[in-house]
Amino acid sequence: MATTVTGTTDLSFKIMTIINKLANKEAIIGIVGLGYVGLPLGLGFVANKYKVLGLDVDENKVGLINQGVSYIEHIDGTTISKAVSSGLLSASVDFSDAASCDALILCVPTPLNRHHEPDLSYVVNTIDSLLPYLKKGQALSLESTTYPGTTEEILRPKIEAQGFTIGEDFFLLYSPEREDPGNMQFSAVNIPKVMGGVTLACQDVGIALYSAVVEEVVPVSSTKVAEFSKLLENIYRSVNIGLVNELKVAADRMGIDIWEVIEAAKTKPFGFKAFYPGPGLGGHCIPIDPFYLTWKAKEYGVHTRFIELAGEINESMPSHVVRKIGVALNSKAKSVNGSKVLLLGLAYKEDVDDMRESPTFHLMDGLRELGAQVDFYDPHIPVIPPTREHAKWTGCKSVEWSAEVVSSYDCVVIATNHSRYDLKELVEFADLIVDTRNALSILEIESREGQVYKA
């Protein structure tokens, strides 16, 4: 892939060294954080013949990579195995190995704390672990979603305190991840890459770095613009999902099928984009990212009411679904207390094993609090691993799929519509179904009267 340098005209020796190494595929790329973002990106560099070192504090992940084994369902283990055996991919828990890298790309979590405030501890701890091993001529890119100003306000002072001059002998940039787990159409290498540098020289290095692996690099004028652009992408989705979730509740009270309304509205060839309601928001982006901006905006005296309202509506959806489950059970002369409820889908979206921020956990919590016996079925997640927020569910196993098992539940809830479900069998096995994804209507599966409730 061609590397186009723009911005600076008087290029220093340090910037030319790293740009030439990138152009000649001699640069070693360090990927810090080997999750759903870092691992695919690292494999993208490997596919373009760059040597990649993965760094992670998780010894299990590091061990699996070095064995050529995948721990993410949609990433083929053969790809990792070939990358490792070729000598282009290795992993380590020893951050001193970062000294061997020419570019470091940080792909670490940026969650919220219990007050819905940004938790940058992973970013701060990671940069602090790397600081002793940084060297002149290196580039460092942050990809974690965060509020505008993070790169310059947090990373830059720490790096400069080590004696580096940003833009002269060290190159700092921000390029937000746009990974969509399970999306077979788009991957880390064919999604346009927004990138901003702290200086023009940093931008030049950033273009050279990402042009080596991504089909299109989109340079912007600053790291703040790049940081804000990522938030805008997900706030746009959050607000529109919040709108349609609110309309779902209103339509339900009016006896109107919101799904039919959306299908009618989207026949308009302009001015309308369809968004769909659900049991709540999931994934690491949409439920979290908007609050990064609302928090930062308060520093400037701005109250982002629109964003916060959408967040409140979306966060209320699991409670709405639990209420609808109660209505459905009442129709069978049963209460939530004492009923057996099976939730289909623990992953936050269809056909992946990613359960980060999944609304299904909130459904499980809400139903258990009301006295229900709760189980789940997910062909992508056989057992619930340890999580920060839902530790009490750790070790719970997916039930088996059979007529005997499914029919034993008083209510089955479609929380995530995996394509591997046999929904015809579901209608055959289950006496009562709550469909939060309109799954049965989309497939035009006939059900018995009073069998299916939409939520």
d(CA 293, CA 193): 21
Alpha carbon separation from 130 to 56, 103, 133, 201 (Å, rounded): 12, 12, 6, 22
d(CA 104, CA 81): 23
Nearest to 414 by CA among 347, 314, 319: 347
- Residue 291: what residue type? F
d(CA 139, CA 172): 6
Q: Are 412 and 344 in contact (CB under 8 A)?
A: yes
**Cα dihedral value 13, 17, 18, 20, nearest 10:** 130
d(CA 170, CA 307): 37
- Residue of 101, 285, 396, 411 marked active site: 285
Buried b (16+ CB within 10 A) or exposed e, 288-300: bbbbbbbbbbeee
d(CA 435, CA 438): 6
Q: Using CB atoms within 10 Å of the CB of residue 111, give its burial: 0 to 12 exposed, 13 to 18 middle, 19+ buried.
A: middle
The vertex-454 CA angle with 441 and 275, nearest 5°, equals 70
Q: What is the DSSP letter of 95?
A: G
d(CA 296, CA 307): 13
Q: Based on the residue annotation, tell me whether 107 is a catalytic residue of this protein.
A: no
d(CA 206, CA 193): 10
d(CA 188, CA 44): 7
d(CA 445, CA 440): 5
d(CA 58, CA 72): 14
d(CA 279, CA 357): 12
| Length of the chain (residues) | 455
* Catalytically active residues, by annotation: 285
